[in-house]
Structure 1
């Protein structure tokens, strides 16, 4: 028995080791609000973008640090006049059903994204492409968009002017290809489980509304040999405390966020798992400037803006490293010279004195207080911020504010309609590292301009900047546009984001970056 037992134990150990190594690697991600759609040309929210980055691959993709690299296109060239890009697609790029990915698939995706019949609120992002704006406005048919499949593996895109940020734009889901046969067969249902065919490192297995989305490795992905994680579970969560409890119980490998109320405890007890990074985003409140009380009433907008104590919100209400915002475009944006608000640097007494003066000149007083409704989507942190701002407006100006919260999808619909909203919570995360990503969403024709802001001079400035080839001239145009925006104030910048989440030590290959883009294919589980 003494001679047999060691060999028996060794055999058991080898068996267990082999079994463990054969077990599928499953990454469980907290992913915030319910994903509104997996249609890449209609998706808008961060939660949807997180999933789509695993399902699809654009012509350009990102490294773990969010710098740009070759995606479905293995190489590209730019013409001498900087107006025509020619992309050469990978010959081993395939869809999740084994079909080859072709240049025509990218042409079809870009045309669909620009087609007004698609109903994309992101179509304006394609404005640098020649004829795009005319297509978006319905003045030209989609086949006039200046994108051409030269052959199955060669694609050209012609721009209306030199566009410094164009390659970064191609990471966005609005530029993803479309599996044409699936779209033709299923129509708008092409993005449902069982129908969706994608070209990224993962494919869709299951989607349970208000619960989770399950992806598995795409065996046809061109770089599948270097992908380790077999499955990804994206778990919907709007209750940050519940998400935090699930992480501590080992049911999640990383969280979407952390509850502000637990920040001090997390920093003290889970320092190695707590990840905080600069994030290219701004948290703000939007004014509906298409109807009273904010239509043609800049004095009231400025009064409410000045009455907010951003330092208290960042340090006391949030307390997780956020920075007070005194501009629209966040710091860290490449090539941008910030145009700070006139009140930047004022002390609290100066801000409140000016706020009260403007409030009175706008026609309001203690006897005739302004009454406003603050709309926010269901979320612990959003509620805390809204409560604090309502209290500041009441204390310093006498404003009667009513808080209204709605679930994510309903909240988005309410914002779009503009029939009821007055003030609404919002956040904007740059789609690419350029000021244009922030400035363009307030263009009068942009589908995400839920404020209804319209200033011809502002439109002119950002339209010129988008196609300006001289970096210094472009910087000045964008600076002037931001300065005008901070004067008109259709939005109230409140703070600049940082990403803050918990990541399990068993996750390797995770790297913090300013875009907060994390492709599962780069990660492994220990």
Structure 2
């Protein structure tokens, strides 16, 4: 080889090596997805929407978790045992479970996090979810010291949880975002700022590196996650836009790999464009309207019942939302084992007859033609589907003689307004089961539930039934108590169910490992991208 050829070969080799290095760097796998709304917080105990659930699924891991098909599987706890009486769970933690800063995840982390969730000063929105744990309610209401809570570290790798009474769904309850662990040192160092990008220490498959409100969030693979070797997507960029039309365009243009929610009336168009990339999967959920029972006219049960009766749910489901959702006349949807939902007493009455009965009830209450005027405002979060629903219901209520206006706000502001106990007339809301038990839906009607009882329903008989259900160990008797409570809630119409809320997703063919599931959990660690 001549000197010139040697120099040329060396130069080409250097270029090749440089090109190979560049190729390796560019091989990072990035998942781009539309979230459907802005998260209120990345602090697990202050998250309340499924939008936030999707984020928490990636950043944190609890004792148990959901796999890619929506099945409850071991999380930080690799195994557990249950005492013969069903009251004591003993969890063995993974020895290689670590925080994103490299520190081990210990049983003490869970003790701290459970106590923090139940601390009255923290006002965790989902604190009541932990009430099945011994003394949880007493701790949360300031009637017992935190160290009396039935959560105990036996040693660094062993956690013991004692319950008030046996509940078969406890492992599923532990998947909830409010009971994942947080890093004590991190919380104590930064206070409420601990959940911000650049400061947050997480124990899930990803860690957040950037959050630009209204624009995007960026997560990167957590190298210290115990299962990091099986995590195939390196980076997630999540866009919280509520503009469904814009999200659809970006998906069709190939800019997004996943998108949560799309305009229901565009379903056929989207299926013609991308076929089975359109996913509409059943879920255990309720789309509903709540009435503010604290003020006229909805402090009168006759008015609430009249407005509930006048809504044509079949029209909403089939015409307004193009079959993406199904009409719902029970507060609790079908699908929960051992439970038969109660239905509103007008469910089987023809729509025209219901409207006539509604007018009679309003007349009895002193409203309608010749009576007091009805000026109603419907609140809903910014979303084309909910706008269409609100418009259709406003037209139905105008048939009762009501003057109806509408007010929308972004998802974050909408729920913050409701959860702070502010006044309204009628509001849109939705509920997705946190675990497969009717109690999870009915607890929204308990008078002491200051966060999710938006209409401030207060019925001592209902509260007594719910309290009784917590101590009844016979499954059939307990389900009957809950059925009676549901019937009472529907009779009093503080809320009126509208639709079964199916989960609409757009999923690119590039994404593998996606499984539609009732739980609507789709952790990125289970996905790959071609």
| TM superposition score category, shorter chain reference | over 0.9
Q: Secondary structure at the match of 1:134?
A: helix
Q: Counterpart in 2 of 1:333?
A: 336
d(CA) in 1 for partners of 2:212 and 2:338? Answer: 42
Q: Which of residues 186, 189, 194 is equivalent to 1:185?
A: 189
Of 295, 303, 308, 1:305 maps to 308
Compute the displacement of 1:420 (Å): 2.7
Q: Is 1:118 the equivalent of 2:107?
A: no
Give the Cα–Cα distance (whole angstroms) in 1 for the partners of residues 417 and 86 of structure 2: 41
Specify which of 309, 318, 322 is matched with residue 319 of structure 1.
Answer: 322
CA distance in 2, matches of 1:95, 1:34: 25
Using the TM superposition, give the Cα deviation of residue 64 of structure 1 relative to its aligned residue in structure 2, in angstroms. Answer: 1.4
What number of residue pairs does the alignment pair up? 513
Of 214, 217, 222, which residue of structure 2 is paired with 1:213? 217
- The answer to whether structure 1 residue 503 and structure 2 residue 507 are counterparts is yes
Query: SS where residue 117 of structure 1 aligns?
Result: coil
1:35 matched to which residue of 2? 39
Counterparts of 1:162 and 1:44, CA distance in 2:
26
1:434 to 415, 431, 437: 437
Q: Deviations over 1:141-160 (max 9, x none)?
A: 32221110110011111111
Aligned 8 A contact 1:372 1:423 in 2: yes
Q: Distance in 2 between matches of 1:335 and 1:167?
A: 18
Cα distance, 1:463 vs. partner?
Answer: 2.6
Q: Deviations over 1:198-230 (max 9, x none)?
A: 111111111110111110111111111111000
1:371 maps to which residue?
375
SS at match of 1:116: coil
Q: Which residue of 1 aligns with 2:453?
A: 449
Q: Name the counterpart of 2:153.
A: 149
Q: Does 1:464 align with 2:481?
A: no
Give the gaps of 5 or more residues in structure 1. Answer: 1-7
- Trace 1:69-468 onto structure 2 (pairs within 5 A): 69-295=73-299, 297-367=300-370, 368-395=372-399, 397-446=400-449, 447-468=451-472
SS of residue in 1 equivalent to 2:137:
helix
Separation in 2, partners of 1:445, 1:416? 13
Whether the 8 Å CA contact 1:254–1:502 is kept in 2: the answer is: yes
Give 3-state SS (helix, strand or coil) of 1:270's partner: helix
Q: In the TM superposition, what is the alpha-carbon distance from 1:17 to its structure 2 partner? A: 12
In the alignment, structure 2 segments of 5+ residues that lack a partner are 1-11
Q: CA RMSD in A?
A: 1.8
Give the distance between the partners of 1:330 and 1:142, measured in 2 at CA. 36
In 2: Cα distance, 1:56 partner to 1:22 partner:
27
Q: Distance in 1 between matches of 2:403 and 2:236?
A: 46
Query: Could you tell me how far 1:20 is from its partner in structure 2?
Result: 6.9
Using the size of structure 2 for normalisation, the TM-score is 0.94
Tell me, in whole angstroms, the C-alpha distance in 2 between the residues paired with 1:317 and 1:67.
Answer: 33
Q: SS of the counterpart of 1:354?
A: helix
- Superposed CA deviations along residues 396-440 of structure 1, whole A, max 9, x for unmatched, are x11111111122232223223444311111011111122121111
Report the CA distance between 1:282 and its aligned residue: 0.7
The correspondence of residues 47-58 of structure 1 with structure 2, limited to 5 A, is: 47-58=51-62
Tell me, in whole angstroms, the C-alpha distance in 2 between the residues paired with 1:410 and 1:74.
39
Matching residue of 1:4 = none
CA shift, 1:173, in A, is 1.0
- Higher deviation after alignment, 83-92 or 465-474: 465-474
> Is the Cα contact below 8 Å between 2:264 and 2:324 reproduced in 1?
no
Aligned structure 1 segments of 4 or more residues deviating by more than 4 angstroms = 15-18
In the TM superposition, what is the alpha-carbon distance from 1:22 to its structure 2 partner? 6.2
Distance 1:212 1:22, change over 3 A: closer
- 1:479 aligned residue: 483
Alpha-carbon offset, residue 121 of structure 1? 1.6
